[in-house]
Amino acid sequence: MRYLKETKQPQSLPASQQDLYLETSPKKTVKSKRKRFNSQKLRWAVQIAFFIVVLVIGWQFYTFVKYCEAGGKGFYLPRPPGVESFLPISALMGTKYFFGTGKINPIHPAGFVIFGTLLLTAFFFRRGFCGWICPIGTLSEWEWRFGDWFLKKLPQRVSSIMRNVPTAFTAGLSLVFTPIIALLIVEVITMESFKSPLFRYLTPAYVLAMVLPFVIPRKIWPDKVNDILARAWKFSILAFFIHVIIIKMPIAQLEVLYTRAPFVRVADVKMLKFFMNMSGMALSVILTILVISLINKNYWCRFFCPYGALLGIIGYASPMRITRDTGKCIDCGKCTKACAMHILVEKKKHVLTHECVACYDCVNACPVNGALDMKLIGDRKKIHYGLYAIMLVGLYVVVTNTARATGHWHTKISDAEYIMRISELNHPKYLHKAGQFEME
Ligand code: SF4
Ligand code: SF4
């Protein structure tokens, strides 16, 4: 027997969110498992700790670059290798280089080690990195929690529209860009094609694609379609980078890039400059995502992050999964309501989707002892959130410190080279055009 009671207007919400508005029936008494310290508090503590680490790394790198800009004078802090975790393309290049040569690249070794560790964590612990460690995930969560508080003050109809519009907009983006990326991958078009007159004539088609999710009646084009389309975008970005770097780029070319491409040797400084002197376009895109993240839970993580997409795919191999005991479950829907990734937990025996970030919020919300837990494959062993956190963070700490101890952590670029290159950073050889680098 189900004990569900729907609130007023669930049909006005996206399909993926309709089940969020469910209330527990008071008819059935269940043993409460509420505790003062729970998985959410531990997760927030881990998130805050990593967020602080990232802020310290950012400040340390900024200080190092300032020291180099002053020609090696003033307050000195060594360059923090952790800054390489913000070079995702370099991490992919390092991965290809490692599997092609058996060596760790000497320019951004920490970037490769951190990226490799993330892939390992996904293999064992699903997308735990996204739910527990990633600073962007943390920022997204703080945003939607604040936005949720704000949206609850608005009429339900208004808040429902505000939640729907960004998803429809992203679905339109996906309709435009996913086919373009697919054509780039199969080399039907190239980057040069964008200059051709044909692309100008396609403008009405782009406009139509962007408008479609807003104008087609929901009976024909339900919100679920928008949600699926919108989530396709991150996979198309991931496919593009895997094709260009992992599949197409020859190992010999990587060797040349690491030794002779000036841009690659200062990619970290260029990244800092990008954030310090952001163009109007980049700033508008980032601000738009930040604002939408207030009203659309985990907007970046669900729809755009190619890292999250990759970890989600690898996570299918993980032996861990959220598991619902259908015999104990009272169908209250609290797990679904707690899930910020919009997974219908209450309908699943095992949560196997790549969207699950292993945050334990559903387990925390479940009022019945033993009805919902993170378990090992075969439903035998329950994984307590404390053990999960120790294993996830522990793997990260062990691998990165092993790399440090074995000399695979610090870049081979000396401080003197940084000082020299930063002094000539405006030279055209430090630019790149659509992945084409100047050599020296
Ligand atoms: S299913 Fe549970 S663990 Fe997975 S993302 Fe949703 S709330 Fe978090
Ligand atoms: S698993 Fe727990 S929270 Fe989810 S529907 Fe069942 S009893 Fe409710």
What is the number of the ligand closest to the CA of 326? 2
Is the pLDDT at 19 greater than 60? The verdict is no
435 backbone dihedrals φ, ψ, rounded to 5°? 85, 0
How far apart, in Å, are the Cα atoms of 178 and each of 106, 153, 183? Answer: 35, 36, 9
Ligand 1 probe mutation, 129, 130, 140, 362, most atoms within 8 A of CB: 362
Could you tell which of 325, 335, 374, 375 is best to mutate to test the pocket of ligand 2, judged by most ligand atoms within 8 Å of the CB? 335
pLDDT of residue 197: 81
Domain residue extents for the chain: 47-318+384-429
Query: Which pair of tokens denotes residue 391?
Result: 């294993």
DSSP reduced 3-state for 424: coil
**Which is more confident, 317 or 258?**
317
Torsion angle of alpha carbons 46, 50, 56, 62, nearest 10°?
-160
Cα 119 to Cα 125, 128, 308, 411, distances in angstroms? 10, 11, 10, 21
Strand order in the sheet with 320-324: 350-351, 320-324, 372-376
Q: Indicate the pLDDT class of residue 189, thresholds 50, 70 and 90.
A: confident
Is pLDDT at 89 greater than 60 in this prediction? Answer: yes
Strand partners of residue 6: 22
pLDDT tens digits for 353-369? 999 999 999 999 999 99
Nearest-angstrom CA–CA distance, 124 and 426: 44
pLDDT of 11 above 70? no
Q: Taking CB atoms and a 6 Å cutoff, what residues make up the pocket around ligand 2? A: 324, 329-335, 345-346, 365-366, 368, 371-372
**SS3 state of residue 350:** strand
Dihedral of the alpha carbons of 334, 321, 354, 212, in degrees to the nearest 10: -30
**CA-CA distance, 424 to 45, in Å (whole number)?**
42
Helix (H, G, I), strand (E, B) or coil at 372: strand
- Supply the DSSP symbol for 187: T
For the CA of 363, the nearest atom of ligand 1: 2
Q: Which helix (H) or strand (E) holds 324?
A: strand 320-324
Per-residue pLDDT at 210 exceeds 70: yes
Give the lowest-confidence range in 3-7, 64-68, 70-74: 3-7
